[in-house]
Structure 1
């Protein structure tokens, strides 16, 4: 990710509704969520307001949309989010990996495909 892309992504995420949308879509996983479900999850956001925010995030490259029948499904663009984190962490250690150990540990995904919800 280059600096202009990072700036666009950070600008998109700097608004609370858009940040919550991205968080919801990350939680939803690769299947994503229908626009209506996103609106409901945000407490009933109006469709015009939601559309504005979704468009902004899509232009920043953080989410993508696809049509499934009459629904538009939105999902997080995980490589873009990883690129944003990578942009921030690039050259953070300067030869001292212990400096970044806490940040790297925080990125450890809690999603273990070998575990079930009942475990």
Structure 2
């Protein structure tokens, strides 16, 4: 994903109402919500909602489809995953796990607490303690 597209997505999400809309649509799943349902759930005026939905659509974070007379909005999970992948690419110097479409950021083996196994706990580097 290009840096410009990531910046557009992050800019769109940097406003409280848009972040709330996006999170609501992520929770809704692929079925999404109508504009009316979003407005009702978040208590947003229709004109204001239209502005925010347009901003999120332009950033590529949500998609809209027509069902009868309603516009249904849903999160674009591929785009969301791409943004998250960009942000965590090469996390802690490790290559991205492209097969899982997720970053490889897990505690290193030396960060595992071995006290439960009767072995003495040893100090680990700060990098291991913070989960990378």
Shift of 1:95: 3.8
Tell me the TM-score normalised to structure 1 length. Answer: 0.79
| Larger RCO (CA within 8 A; separation ≥ 6) | 1
Structure 1 alignment gaps of length 5 or more: 103-119
Q: How does 1:18-33 map to 2 (within 5 A)?
A: 18-33=18-33
Task: Give the structure 2 partner of residue 2 of structure 1.
Answer: 2
Shift of 1:100: 2.0
Matched length: 100
RMSD between aligned residues = 1.8
Alignment pair present for 1:81 and 2:80: yes
Query: Which whole-Å CA distance do the structure 1 matches of 2:106 and 2:61 have between them?
Result: 26
Task: Give the structure 2 partner of residue 59 of structure 1.
Answer: 58
Would the aligned equivalents of 2:34 and 2:70 in 1 still touch at CA under 8 Å?
yes
Query: Which whole-Å CA distance do the structure 1 matches of 2:77 and 2:58 have between them?
Result: 15
Shift of 1:96: 9.0
Shift of 1:93: 2.6
Structure 2 alignment gaps of length 5 or more: 97-103, 108-132
Query: Which whole-Å CA distance do the structure 2 matches of 1:78 and 1:88 have between them?
Result: 15
Secondary structure of 1:73's counterpart equals strand
Q: 1:33-59: per-residue Cα shift (whole Å, max 9, x none)?
A: 00000001102x111100000000000
